[in-house]
């Protein structure tokens, strides 16, 4: 491998999906995996096959369908985990098993109750087992950031000897600082005699906001794989953000001398898709993919950028797939103009999808007159969500009365299973609550609304409101999203979107039988 190339190992579908409330269904994971392949990541960590039958099936389908990147499955250093991962990955053209075991004293003593010798012995046995299924085996000493260095060196040497081709050094709790982490990677390079037989990878968590800085320090000291996620999703405060580390390497190639194979023009589109499907909005001032990342507000900055972009812009927005300064479409724009604009934005719709996007576009253009790129993206997002969730219920009509009296909502929905239209009215503490109470009564599935947020897609009084909600059914969380110029309509559609995902989940149980009911195992990550 070229010594200056950095491999991008994307773990959005595994660590990213462990973000509280970010659960994705099988179809959504497949959609994201295809997008990651377009982005040209080197490795997709598609899931943790033993954790549930849903995860197993998603890894299996990704292994079957997604070509290009290596498909990886996570497994604790246990026979059953490794066998399950191997089974899920079986159809992949290029597959990797990623196995891990706790390596810090805290993990060894309190979680695993293993001595250091037992830990090395188990890690070696499990790497050999993984090796019997695939040449490509990655090993992680979990919580390496807090592990004793001499023990870590010994463990790394032993697993490489057993056949590990990548050794990943995780800062599992986001505790380490950049200089310390850089020194640790350098020490691994200096002290582990067989280190040249493996690639050093890093996996940094963001608890102290240092995940990207720590990953960069590791690369400057010899690591050549970064584990990262789109939008920095992941356990707790998340992981190293893919878009940030990739754009740092690209923008500062002059001083870092490293590169990735990422197709950066796909970054915005992938970020959007992941945010849309996980229901995790991207913070406005987020580097690279936030709505304000390329916005210049102050007069001095605007003046400078108009004279020469380089005055205040270190990245051309087109490098990450954003195009600026285009005229908005309007009520007179035809289907052809819409198709062209959507293609420029990276959406290639087939005729039937284009027809339905056009109908929605016309409705919006009649209300708003000027339809911006952001509006178009929200239209396609909605269609995209519909395409990855079976629709059980559809909103037909909504009427809301509010003011100083009792907020009341009358809702009519269609059940697409039997084409029955049902309706009811309900009171609520406010208009949104009244809408939810009415829908809940109609769908008859107990669920709790645990999160509701509304943002405007663009500026102006006629802007569309984007509603993201989360509902809880037993221990499972489902997100829903919708956008509309009327936020009560958006709220009702977002709620039905989440309810449709819940129905999808329940119908999978019915189809697969209770035997295969995803048993959520307690994962000691
Ligand atoms: O954070 C961590 O240590 C992990 C490992 C499984 C690599 O996610
Ligand atoms: Zn992690």
Of 16, 55, 170, which is best to mutate to test ligand 1, by the most ligand atoms within 8 angstroms of its C-beta? Answer: 170
pTM value > 0.75: yes
315-331 pLDDT, tens per residue? Answer: 999 999 887 656 779 98
Question: Over the Cα atoms of the chain, what is R_g?
Answer: 25
What average pLDDT does the segment 494-517 reach? Answer: 76
161-174 pLDDT, tens per residue? Answer: 999 999 999 999 99
Strand-pairing partners, residue 166, are: 138, 199
For the chain, which domains are there?
Answer: 7-278 (3.20.20.70), 299-386 (1.10.238), 390-512 (3.30.160.270)
- CB-based contact 133:176 (threshold 8 Å): no
Gap between the terminal Cα atoms of the chain: 31
pLDDT (0 to 100) of residue 515: 43
Centroid of ligand 2 to alpha carbon of 201 (angstroms): 13
Nearest CA to ligand 1 atom 5: 142
Q: Which of 4-13, 25-34, 253-262, 506-515 has the lowest mean pLDDT?
A: 506-515
- CB-based contact 438:409 (threshold 8 Å): yes
- CB-based contact 243:267 (threshold 8 Å): yes
pLDDT band at 349 (very low <50, low <70, confident <90, very high): confident
Q: Which of 13-27, 293-307, 427-441, 479-493 has the lowest mean pLDDT?
A: 293-307
Of 103, 141, 205, 524, which is best to mutate to test ligand 1, by the most ligand atoms within 8 angstroms of its C-beta? Answer: 205
Of 10, 13, 173, 203, which is best to mutate to test ligand 1, by the most ligand atoms within 8 angstroms of its C-beta? Answer: 203
395-445 pLDDT, tens per residue? Answer: 999 999 988 778 999 999 999 988 999 999 999 999 999 999 999 999 999
Cα separation, 69 vs 39, in Å, equals 10
DSSP letters spanning 337-402: HHHHHHHHTT----HHHHHHHHHHHHHHHHHHS-B-HHHHHHHHHHHHHHHHS---EEEEEEEEE-
What average pLDDT does the segment 134-161 reach? Answer: 98
For 265, half-sphere exposure in the C-beta direction (CA atoms, 13 angstrom radius) is: 6
The C-alpha angle 290, 293, 298, rounded to 5 degrees, equals 130
Nearest CA to ligand 1 atom 1: 172
pLDDT (0 to 100) of residue 524: 47
Centroid of ligand 2 to alpha carbon of 50 (angstroms): 17
In this prediction, what percent of the chain has a pLDDT beyond 90? 71
Of 172, 218, 228, 235, which is best to mutate to test ligand 1, by the most ligand atoms within 8 angstroms of its C-beta? Answer: 172
Closest atom of ligand 1 to 205 CA is: 1
Q: Which of 25-39, 172-186, 396-410 has the lowest mean pLDDT?
A: 396-410
Helix or strand (DSSP H, E) at 504: helix 487-512
Q: How many CB atoms sit inside 10 A of residue 197's CB? A: 13
- CB-based contact 220:187 (threshold 8 Å): no
Cα separation, 7 vs 35, in Å, equals 17
pLDDT (0 to 100) of residue 324: 64
Q: If you average pLDDT over every residue of the chain, what do you get?
A: 91
Centroid of ligand 1 to alpha carbon of 194 (angstroms): 23
Centroid of ligand 1 to alpha carbon of 77 (angstroms): 12
Centroid of ligand 1 to alpha carbon of 142 (angstroms): 6
Ligand 1: list residues with CB < 6 Å: 15, 100, 140, 142, 168, 170, 172, 203, 205, 525
pLDDT (0 to 100) of residue 344: 81
């Amino acid at each position: 491998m070229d010594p200056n190339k950095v491999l991008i190992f994307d773990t959005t579908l595994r660590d990213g999906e462990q973000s509280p409330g970010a659960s994705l269904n099988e179809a959504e994971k497949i959609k994201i995996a295809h997008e990651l392949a377009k982005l040209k990541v080197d490795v997709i960590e598609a899931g943790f096959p033993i954790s549930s039958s849903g995860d197993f099936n998603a890894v299996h389908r990704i292994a079957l369908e997604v070509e290009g990147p290596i498909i990886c499955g996570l497994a604790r250093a246990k026979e059953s985990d490794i066998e399950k991962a191997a089974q899920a990955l079986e159809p992949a053209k290029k597959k990797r098993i990623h196995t891990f075991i706790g390596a810090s004293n805290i993990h060894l003593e309190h979680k695993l109750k293993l001595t250091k010798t037992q830990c090395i012995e188990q890690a070696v046995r499990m790497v050999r087992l993984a090796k019997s299924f695939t040449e490509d085996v990655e090993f992680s000493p979990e919580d390496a950031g807090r592990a004793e260095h001499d023990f870590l060196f010994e463990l790394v040497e032993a697993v490489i000897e057993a056949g590990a081709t990548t050794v990943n050094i995780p800062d599992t709790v986001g505790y380490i600082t950049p200089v310390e982490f850089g020194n640790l990677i350098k020490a691994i390079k200096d002290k582990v005699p067989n280190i040249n037989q493996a690639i050093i990878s890093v996996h940094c968590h963001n608890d102290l906001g240092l995940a990207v800085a720590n990953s960069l320090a590791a690369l400057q000291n010899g690591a050549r794989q970064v584990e990262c996620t789109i939008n920095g999703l992941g356990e707790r405060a998340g992981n190293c953000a893919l878009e940030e580390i990739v754009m740092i390497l690209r923008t500062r190639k002059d001083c870092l001398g490293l590169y990735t194979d990422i197709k950066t023009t796909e970054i915005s589109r992938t970020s959007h898709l992941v945010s849309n499907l996980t229901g995790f909005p991207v913070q406005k001032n987020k580097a690279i993919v936030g709505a304000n990342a390329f916005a210049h507000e102050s007069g001095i900055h605007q003046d400078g950028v108009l004279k020469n972009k380089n005055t205040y812009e270190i990245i051309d927005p087109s490098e990450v797939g954003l195009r600026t300064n285009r005229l908005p479409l309007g009520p007179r724009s035809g289907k052809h103009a819409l198709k062209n604009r959507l293609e420029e934005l990276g959406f290639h719709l087939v005729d039937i999808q284009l027809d339905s996007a056009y109908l929605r576009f016309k409705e919006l253009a009649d209300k708003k007159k000027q339809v911006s790129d952001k509006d178009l993206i929200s239209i396609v997002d909605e269609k995209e969500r519909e395409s990855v969730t079976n629709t059980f219920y559809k909103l037909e009509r909504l009427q809301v009365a509010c003011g100083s009296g009792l907020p009341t909502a009358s809702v009519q929905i269609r059940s697409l299973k039997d084409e029955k239209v049902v309706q009811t009215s309900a009171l609520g503490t406010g208009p949104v609550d009244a809408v939810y109470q009415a829908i809940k009564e109609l769908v008859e599935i107990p669920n709790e609304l645990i999160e509701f947020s509304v943002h405007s897609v663009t500026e102006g009084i006629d802007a569309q409101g984007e509603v993201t909600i989360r509902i809880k059914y037993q221990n499972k969380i489902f997100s829903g999203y919708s956008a509309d110029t009327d936020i009560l309509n958006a709220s009702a559609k977002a709620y039905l979107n989440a309810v449709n995902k819940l129905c999808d989940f329940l119908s999978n149980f019915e189809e697969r039988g209770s035997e295969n009911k995803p048993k959520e195992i307690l994962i000691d990550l």
